[in-house]
A and B are shown apart, each in its own frame.
Chain A
C-alpha cells in the first residue's frame, strides 16, 4: 500500500492542474461542511458539561397540552416547595433558579456595572453536578430569607475583579449597594442559567407575595434507571394527590419534563439542520465533481492501467492503486478543507452580530465555543473516507476494467468515450445540477421568507430612538420604590438636551413575545382546564405612544391617574379587540388578569392600539393580541418584574447622547447601570439573526453548488470534446459549419441540464416539504422560486457548455486528422 501511495503521490505531482482542481473541489466541500459541523457539534451534539447529563431534566408546570409554551409555565415558588417535598422517588435532586441582574461597585465610587445574575437554590449546583473551582457552594442556611448575603462569582469576574487571586474568597462585593461575601468561584465558561456572571441564593430578599408567580426555572436529576415516561407518570400522581389535598383550579395537573439539553437546542435544531442539509448538498456536489474528475482521469490513463493489467496486475491491485490516488487526493482535500474550516468557523460565528446567537444560547452558558475538536476531526475523517473510498471507488472500478487489447495496440487513445463512461459521467453531472437546483430553490425560498420578515413594518419608529435597559432589584424592593425611581429617571432623561421625549416599558419593544399575560376578556369562555387565555403583555407609562411612535387608534393613552391606586385600566391592540369583540368597539370592555376565580383585578379597556410586529415563538401556541397595562399597576401586582427598557426620542443622533444619558441615570441613583444601550434601528437589525444566518449560508452553498455543477459540466464536455476532436475534424472537413459543431456540444449540455432539472425539481419539492415540517414559518415554494433558480442554473450551465462548444467549433481539420 505504501508503494501505491508513493506512486500515487508521484503521479499527482506530475499533474499539478488535475491535483489542484480535485483538491480545491474537495477542500471547498469538506471545508464548509466541517465548519458547519463544528457549529452543529457545539450547539446540538456536544453534551452538557455535567456528569451524566442525560439524567438532567427541565421542569415546567403543565396543563392540558404540554407541548406548547402556552400550556406550560415556569414553576411557582409553591410548586417548587411541593414538588421538592414529594418527588424523592424519581429525582435525586431538584433545584430552582431565576434570573435577574445586580449592579456592582455602586457604592465604591467606581461606575456601576450591570451583572447578569442567577438566584439559585442552595442545591442548584449539586443537582447539576458542578462545583465551584474555588471555595464552596451555598449552604442551606444561606438560602433563607434574612440570611447573611453571599455570592458565588463567575470565572471571568474573578479574573477581572480579583486578578484570579485565591484571596478573593471572603472579599466583599457591593451588589445593588449591599455587601455580599464571595464564597466561591465557578469554573471557566460556566454561566448557567441566564448567562449569569454571579450567583446569589434564591431565598435571600425574596418576597412572599410572589408565591404564585410562575418565574422559577426548575431543574432536576432523575434517579438512575428512572425513564422520562416513568417520571411523567409519577409527577401526574404527585400533582393529583396535591390537588386532592388542597383543591385549586390553578394547580398544575402534571409536570412537563424535557431533557435539560433540549431547552437549548429545540428551537435551533430545525434551522441548524436546514443549514447543515444545505452544506451536505454542497458536499455532495463537490464529491460528485471529485468523482467526475477521477473518472476523467481514469479515462485519460486507461492506457497505462491496461499496461499494468498486461504486466500482471489483478483487478484488486488495480483497484488498490486507483484508490490510493483518490485517498491521497481526499487526504489533501481534507487537510485543505480543515484549513478552510479553521478560517470559516470563526467567520460563521461572527456572521451573527452577537457572535453566537445563531448558534444557540447554550454556547454562552457552557463550554460550547466552536472549535475544531476531536468529533469535528472525526467528521472530517469520515468525509475523507466517504469522498476517497465512496466516490473514488466508481472511477477506480472503471479503471480496473481496462481493455488490454486497446493498450497493446494503442487503439483506445483518441477514441470517443465509451457509452458506459459517458453515462456515468453524465449521471454525475445530472446529479450535480439536481443538487445545485435544490440549493438554489432553498436559497430563493429563504430570500423570499427573509424579505417578508424584514419588510413587514414594526409599527413603531426606529429612527432617532435610543433605548437601554435598567434593572431595579434589591435597591428598590417595593413597587412604590420602583415606580418612584422610574418616574425620577424619566424626569432626568426628558431634561437631557437633545431628548424630545422619554418613556419606559417592559418588555423591550422588539422583544414583545418575551412576556405573556394570562387573561380572561369578559364574555369569552376560558379554555379548560387551564382557565385563561394568553396575550402578550406590554407595561407602559403615559406618553408611551408618542415616544415610541406606536399608533393609538381609539380611546386614550394612560394618564398619571392610572397609577397603582387608580382605576385598573388597559389598552388592547387591534388583534386582541378583533379576536374577542369582532365588529364592536372594545373600549369600555373588561379584561381580567389571570383566572376568573383568581385574585387579580378586572381592567377596563380605555384604548385600542395598532398592531405591531411581534417575532413569535413558534412553540407559544395560541396567543391572542397584546394587552397594555399601566406599569405602576403591573408593578403593584407583581414584584418579579425588574427589568425595564427606556426609550428616548432624540432630536440628534441617538448614540451621541450616550454619555449624557448615563450621567442623567447616575443623578437618579449612582448605583444604577444602563445596559444594552443601542439605537432602535440597531436593535431591529439584531432581530432575525438566525434567519439571516441561514439565508446567508444557504445562499453561499447555493452559489458553491452552482459553481461546482458548472465546473463539473464543463469538465465533462471539455473531456468529450478532446476525445471527439478527430470526429469534429472529419465533420468540419465534410462541410459542417461552426454552428453545427457548437450545436452538437450544446445539445449534450442541454440534455444534461434537462435531466438535472427533472430530478432537482422533484428533490427540491420534497426537501422544501421536509424543511417546512421542521420549520413551520417557512413559506411554500412558489413556481417563481423554481423558475428563478432554474434560470440562474441554466445561465451557469450555458456558460459552462459554451467554452467547450467554442473549442469544438474552432477545430482545424488538418491538425485534428494529422494522426491519419
Chain B
C-alpha cells in the first residue's frame, strides 16, 4: 500500500543543512497497524506529515496505492489524500461551533456528497460508534474520550483506507486511551490500515509492527 524509497527531509539552516529525515525506505502493506516510535525530535511527526501528504517539500520516492506521489502535482496529491486518508489528532480538533452530527458530516460535505447520502452515512457511523444520543451536543459538552471517539469516527466517515493518528491518546487518561486503542484494533481488523505516532509502548502493542526512529533515521522496522 505504501512504499517509501530514500525519503529525505532537509531544513536549510545558516550553519548548514539539517536532516529531519534521512534515507527512509520502508513498505507498509494494506491491513497493517503500524506504530512509529522514537524520542522527541526523531522525525516521527515529520514522517507522518509526509505520509499524510501535508508536506510536499521532501526528496525520494513515495508510492501510495501504486500512485507515484512524488510525481503528482499539488491538486492530485490533495485528491489522493481526500480519497484515501483519514486523520486523528492528539487534541481531537473537533470544530467547536459544530455539533457532533455536523462534525461528522463535514468531511462528507467537502467531498461533495449529496445531503441525503450524508445523512445516511452519518447516522450509520453514529450508530456504529454508539454516539447517537450525543449527536446534537457540541464538543465542549463531551468528555475527552468522547471527543476523541468522535474524532476517530470523523476520520473514518469518508471510508479512507488509511488512518493516520498523531498521538491519538496523548490527551486522554489511561482508560479512555485503551478504549480508543481497542477501537483502532477493531477498525484494523475490519480492514483499515492504521499508522500511529506514539510514545506509549502499551499503545504500540495494539499494532502489528513498530518502526523506530532516531535522529531522522530508521533504527528498526
Contact = CB atoms under 8 A, between A and B. Distances in A.
A313 B110 contact: yes
B95 to A, nearest CB: 6
B170 to A, nearest CB: 11
B91 to A, nearest CB: 6
The interface centre, meaning the residue of B87, B91, B97, B166 with most chain A CB atoms within 10 A of its CB, is: B97
A307 B94 CA distance: 8
Interface in B80-113: 81-82, 87, 89-91, 93, 95-98, 102, 106-107, 109-111
B45 interface: yes
B78 interface: yes
Contacts of B111: 312
Interface string A306-323: 011011111001000000
Given A7-B97, A10-B97, A311 B87 contact: yes
A308 B87 contact: no
Nearest to A312: B110
Interface stretch (A78-86, A401-409, A456-464): A401-409
Contacts of B110: 308, 311-314, 317
B83 to A, nearest CB: 9
Contacts of B107: 311-312
Given A7-B98, A313-B110, A314-B78, A408 B89 contact: yes
A304 interface: yes
Contacts of A11: 97
A566 interface: no
Among A11, A14, A313, which residue has the most Cβ atoms of chain B within 10 A?
Answer: A313
A410 B91 contact: yes
Nearest to A303: B93
Nearest to A4: B109
A3 interface: yes
A313 B49 CA distance: 17
A10 B99 CA distance: 11
B55 interface: yes
A73 to B, nearest CB: 72
A304 B54 contact: no
A408 B54 contact: yes
Interface string B152-179: 0010001000000010000000000000
Interface in B42-74: 45, 48-49, 52, 54-55
Nearest to A311: B107
A310 B93 CA distance: 10
A399 to B, nearest CB: 14
Interface residues of A, number: 21
A304 B103 CA distance: 12
Nearest to B106: A311
A672 to B, nearest CB: 76
Contacts of B166: 408-409
Contacts of B52: 310, 408
Contact of A307 (B49, B95, B109): B95
Nearest to A304: B95
Contacts of A308: 95, 106, 110
A408 B166 CA distance: 8
A317 B113 CA distance: 14
Nearest to A313: B110
Contacts of B102: 7
Contacts of A304: 95-96
A298 to B, nearest CB: 15
Contacts of A314: 78, 110
Contacts, number: 58
Interface in A650-695: none
A310 B85 CA distance: 10
A407 B93 contact: yes
Contacts of B49: 404-405, 408
Contacts of B106: 308, 311, 313
B54 A404 contact: yes
A368 B76 CA distance: 60
B48 to A, nearest CB: 8
Contacts of B93: 303, 307, 310, 407
A251 B55 CA distance: 87
A481 B20 CA distance: 109
Contacts of B78: 314
A307 B89 CA distance: 9
A405 B51 CA distance: 12
B185 to A, nearest CB: 23
A217 B67 CA distance: 85
A73 B201 CA distance: 102
Contacts of B95: 304, 307-308
Contact of A408 (B81, B87, B109, B158): B87
A329 B64 CA distance: 43
Contacts of A14: 96-97
Nearest to A413: B91
Contact of A310 (B54, B55, B91, B98): B54
B137 to A, nearest CB: 14
A405 B93 CA distance: 13
A482 to B, nearest CB: 82
Contacts of B98: 7, 10
A613 B209 CA distance: 99
A562 B111 CA distance: 98
A7 B102 CA distance: 10
A310 B45 contact: no
A312 B83 CA distance: 9
A404 B106 CA distance: 17
Contacts of A3: 109
B45 A409 contact: yes
Contacts of B55: 405
B45 A311 contact: no
A14 B97 CA distance: 8
A308 B154 CA distance: 12
Nearest to B91: A410
Interface in A291-340: 303-304, 307-308, 310-314, 317
Nearest to A403: B54
Interface in B112-171: 154, 158, 166
Contacts of A10: 97-98
Contact of A312 (B54, B90, B96, B158): B158
A655 to B, nearest CB: 65
A317 B107 CA distance: 11
Nearest to A10: B97
A14 B110 CA distance: 23
A405 B81 CA distance: 14
Interface in A266-313: 303-304, 307-308, 310-313
Q: Which of B87, B93, B102, B166 has the most CB of A within 10 A?
A: B93
B169 to A, nearest CB: 16
A314 B82 CA distance: 9
A236 B100 CA distance: 82
Contacts of A303: 93
Nearest to B107: A311
A303 B91 CA distance: 11
Interface in A388-409: 404-405, 407-409
Contacts of A307: 89, 93, 95
Contacts of B96: 14, 304
A440 to B, nearest CB: 41
Nearest to B166: A408
Nearest to A6: B102
Contacts of A311: 87, 106-107, 110, 154
7 contacts: A10-B97, A311-B87, A408-B45, A408-B48, A408-B54, A408-B87, A409-B45
Interface of B: 45, 48-49, 52, 54-55, 78, 81-82, 87, 89-91, 93, 95-98, 102, 106-107, 109-111, 154, 158, 166
Given A11-B97, A312-B81, A408-B54, 17 more contacts: A3-B109, A10-B97, A14-B96, A303-B93, A304-B95, A304-B96, A308-B110, A310-B54, A310-B87, A310-B89, A310-B93, A311-B106, A311-B107, A404-B49, A405-B54, A408-B49, A410-B90
The 4 closest A-B pairs by CB, nearest first: A312-B110, A404-B54, A312-B82, A307-B93
